[in-house]
Structure 1
Amino acid sequence: MTSDINPHASLDDSADADVVHEDRLWRDKGWTCRVIKNEDDDGWAVEMTQDGEAEPALVGPWTMGRDKKNPKPLDVSAFNTLVKTASEVLRRHEQQLHATLHKQVWVDTANDRISVTLDIVPDEDDPHAMLAAESADGEPLARIRVTPAFKLNARSAAQWIESEYAKPSGS
């Protein structure tokens, strides 16, 4: 009688079930890499899509194979480089989004140095922003809701502080 138990199988084999390593498709490390026909010319392109996302994070040209008709097959080195590049693209996008939605200025007063922040909440139904102030030692001084169009700069922050944190006009 033969046994169906594989002595070389590990407990992690179920996690490896989604791993695919083919010439034009790799799925591993939370990413799917697909070599596709480039619609703009006769060449090939590669797209990197993070698991759970509908759109690729990275699309770029892909090298032709030796026959000059088919794409070069994917390999571990190319896949790892593409994962690193696509991850960097996502990281830069997140940094840019954070910079767009979060502003901070410092205002020196007679008694303290105050940090004033504007955090925009891009909600489809209720877009708004939170204007907040805190002392140099991190003590919260004020927090109010304003329109997402509020322009935070050193002058508007100083005016808000001077008004004893009254809601700015137009907010």
Structure 2
Amino acid sequence: MTDSAPDQTDDAIHEDRLWRDDGWTARVIKNEDDDGWAVEMIKDGEAEPALVGPWTMGRDKKNPKPLDAGAFRTLVKTASEVLRRHEQQLHAMLHKRFVVSARGEEVTVTLDIVPDEDDPYADLKAFDAFGAQLAQVRVSAGFKLSKTSAEAWVESEFQKPA
């Protein structure tokens, strides 16, 4: 039994227009917008590409440049960064946090949106300076948490916002 290269898996494919390895697939495709070529990067298990971008023409100026290990590594790095930024943006949209002062105490107010398809909602929570939870209330997923609304909620002694 021989050992395979450390960067290859049993289902790895290394072809000129298709490269599958390390949980990613790079596919060189005809660019629908012009006469050139594009490359799409798809993470295993995902239906949609994480990245689609232009691909270099080969020397004959008709066919695409073949994929290779260096290009594949660069594409994986770029596509991974795109996914990471998307996850950070989604997290920022679903989780808000403000620190407010109330009666001389610092209170951290958080809003965590649960994007359920049938019944989206959000949890509004308050924590003291030591991280102990002071209150929690379920609110509409459309509730807008701001410094002003956080202060108002704390001042109302955590009554459910209207």
TM above 0.5 = yes
Q: Which whole-Å CA distance do the structure 2 matches of 1:84 and 1:16 have between them? A: 18
Q: Is 1:23–2:50 an aligned residue pair? A: no
Q: Deviations over 1:34-61 (max 9, x none)?
A: 0000111110000000000010000000
Contact 2:127–2:134 (CA under 8 A) maintained in structure 1 = yes
Q: Does 1:131 align with 2:124?
A: yes
Give 1:10 shift.
3.1
For structure 2, the 5+ residue unaligned runs are: none
Matches within 5 A, 1:8-157: 9-10=2-3, 16-157=9-150
Q: Name the Cα RMSD after superposition.
A: 1.6
**1: CA distance, partners of 2:49 / 2:120:** 27
Rounded to whole Å, the distance in 1 between the matches of 2:46 and 2:156 is 46
Q: Give distance in 1, aligned partners of 2:142 and 2:67.
A: 47
* Distance in 1 between residues matched to 2:4 and 2:48, nearest whole Å: 32
TM-score by length of 1: 0.90
The alpha-carbon distance between structure 1 residues 55 and 22, as it changes in their structure 2 partners (threshold 3 A), is same
Residue 11 of structure 1 and its aligned partner are, at CA, apart by: 8.4
Give the percent of matched residue pairs that are identical in Structure 1 and Structure 2: 68
Poorly superposed stretches of 4+, deviation over 4 Å = none
Q: Decide whether aligned partners of structure 1 residues 48 and 128 sit closer, same or farther in structure 2, where only a CA change above 3 A counts.
A: same
Output the CA distance in 1 between the equivalents of 2:93 and 2:22: 30
What secondary structure is seen at the aligned counterpart in 1 of 2:19?
strand
8 Å CA contact 2:57–2:65 kept in 1: the answer is: yes
SS at structure 1 position matched to 2:103? coil
Q: 1:17, CA displacement in angstroms?
A: 2.0
Aligned residues: 161
Shift of residue 97 of structure 1?
Answer: 0.3
Q: TM-score, normalised by structure 2?
A: 0.95
User: Which structure would you say has the larger Rg?
Assistant: 1
User: Partners of 1:137 and 1:80 in 2: how far apart?
Assistant: 44
User: Residues of 2 paired with 1:115 and 1:163: CA distance?
Assistant: 15
Aligned positions of 1:151-170 closer than 5 A: 151-169=144-162
Distance 1:11 1:26, change over 3 A: closer
